[in-house]
Amino acid sequence: MQLMELCYSVTMAARIAYSSYIFSLVRPARYQRMAGYSRSAALLGVFTSSVLGQLLVSAAGVPFSTLNYASLGLLCCSLLLALFLRRPRRSLFFNRDAAARRGAAASELAGMNPAAARGAWRDWTLARMLRELGATAHSPQLRLWSLWWVFNSAAYYLIVYYVHILWNVVHPTADSASVYNGGADAASTLLGAITSFSAGFVKIRWALWAKLVIAGVTAAQAALVFLMYSTSNIWLCYLAFVLFRGAYQFLVPIATFQIASSLSKELCALVFGVNTFLATVLKTIITLIVSDKRGLGLPVHSQFFIYFVYFLVLFGVYLLGALVVVLRHFRDGRRAPQPPALSPTEEKAMQPLATQEQSLQPEAKA
């Protein structure tokens, strides 16, 4: 089990690196759609494996060991595909000499510190990346979506981890044929893939409406968590979980492309890793306080009430921030200077100039 957890940790770290790598393959204008494609592809893979595994075990009687061999075979295929992935041609932080030999632009190499000691290249690289990150940390969108990533992801994974215990309390039964936890997981993953894919096509002014969108999704999450906490109907509990997971997955690709758009491509993996690490730390702290015997040791129903209050507080904070941004936008719009009104004499004087400009437009297009 310890070896499995070690391999799983390395896999998760590689996924964070992949989240940064894919941004090096496309133009910034396509970040949003690409983030939606990437997230929906991963969720569709989870959905396919869940459904296929359930069918093989329930309908065909395939033993679990055979599923492990099938998983190993698919992993070998993915390893072969990874060998043919397009490789980045340059990096602003690593392999400077190799980048110069491969023809990196002079403007990219000019920002590097040529006086850095070769023996301390690791320290210099980390310091360089942290300085670059500090220089871009003033971006409001970067701060907003990074904070959303940390606080929402921590609660999201707590819900995902403990919902099976809640289901067992809501619907206690020894008959495994009447338990549809796997189906709920598959349905929630499929809905998450659909919402992630659709997020790549949402076109709004994120600088203005981002906090309001986050507030709306967070309010829906709070309501769904409260439904899971209060209901005694297992099907309503399943439905609430499916919708809760779909709502979270809708915002993940949006947060991904918003963060990537605020950074240079070389810093994406660092920021994604820091956000994931901070979310894990926050999740661990909440677990120690709420669930662990060394803390409050609350039963699962009480835990979900705490998570409901958590999402409710997040909703209040985001709604307040959204109202401030919207009111400031309309206030600045009213204060914008209006062009001075022209007198009738000046309007008549401007008409010949407008006619002349219209007659020159075909020539300019030609």
Q: Please choose, from the candidates 255, 269, 259, 264, the residue with its C-alpha nearest in 3D space to the C-alpha of residue 135.
A: 264
**Predicted pLDDT at 99:** 44
pLDDT tens per residue across span 153-162: 999 999 998 9
User: 113 lies in a domain?
Assistant: no
User: 295 lies in a domain?
Assistant: yes
Give the residue, 330 or 123, on which the prediction is more confident: 330
Q: Look at the chain and report how many structural domains it folds into.
A: 1
> In the predicted model, what is the mean pLDDT of the chain?
77
Please check the confidence at residue 114 and state whether its pLDDT lies above 50.
Answer: no
pLDDT tens per residue across span 55-64: 887 777 778 7
Highest mean pLDDT: which range of 85-94, 239-248, 253-262: 239-248
User: 285 lies in a domain?
Assistant: yes
Residue at token pair 């599923």: 67
Give the residue, 14 or 74, on which the prediction is more confident: 74
pLDDT tens per residue across span 11-27: 877 777 776 777 777 77
User: 101 lies in a domain?
Assistant: no
**Predicted pLDDT at 247:** 92
Q: Please choose, from the candidates 251, 143, 156, 274, the residue with its C-alpha nearest in 3D space to the C-alpha of residue 195.
A: 251
Please check the confidence at residue 366 and state whether its pLDDT lies above 60.
Answer: no
Q: Where does the pLDDT of residue 214 fall: very low under 50, low under 70, confident under 90, or very high at 90 and above?
A: very high
Rounded distance between C-alpha atoms, residue 261 and residue 27, angstroms: 10
Section 30-57 average pLDDT: 80
- CA distances, 302 to each of 238, 240, 285, 286 (Å): 18, 17, 17, 13
Please check the confidence at residue 363 and state whether its pLDDT lies above 50.
Answer: no
Percent of the chain's residues with pLDDT above 90: 23
Highest mean pLDDT: which range of 135-139, 167-171, 345-349: 167-171
- Are 225 and 244 contacting, i.e. CB atoms less than 8 angstroms apart? yes
Please check the confidence at residue 110 and state whether its pLDDT lies above 60.
Answer: no
Section 174-195 average pLDDT: 78
User: 144 lies in a domain?
Assistant: yes
User: 321 lies in a domain?
Assistant: yes
CATH code, 186: 1.20.1250
Give the residue, 360 or 275, on which the prediction is more confident: 275
pTM: 0.71
Q: Where does the pLDDT of residue 135 fall: very low under 50, low under 70, confident under 90, or very high at 90 and above?
A: low
Give the residue, 73 or 361, on which the prediction is more confident: 73
Section 36-50 average pLDDT: 82
Point out the least confidently predicted range of 85-94, 104-113, 317-326. Answer: 104-113
User: 115 lies in a domain?
Assistant: no
**Predicted pLDDT at 243:** 95
Give residue 293's domain range. Answer: 1-77+140-333
pLDDT tens per residue across span 286-305: 999 998 888 888 888 899 99
Q: Where does the pLDDT of residue 125 fall: very low under 50, low under 70, confident under 90, or very high at 90 and above?
A: low
**Predicted pLDDT at 29:** 76
User: 133 lies in a domain?
Assistant: no
Section 308-329 average pLDDT: 90
pLDDT tens per residue across span 247-289: 998 988 888 878 877 776 667 777 888 888 899 899 999 999 9
**Predicted pLDDT at 101:** 45
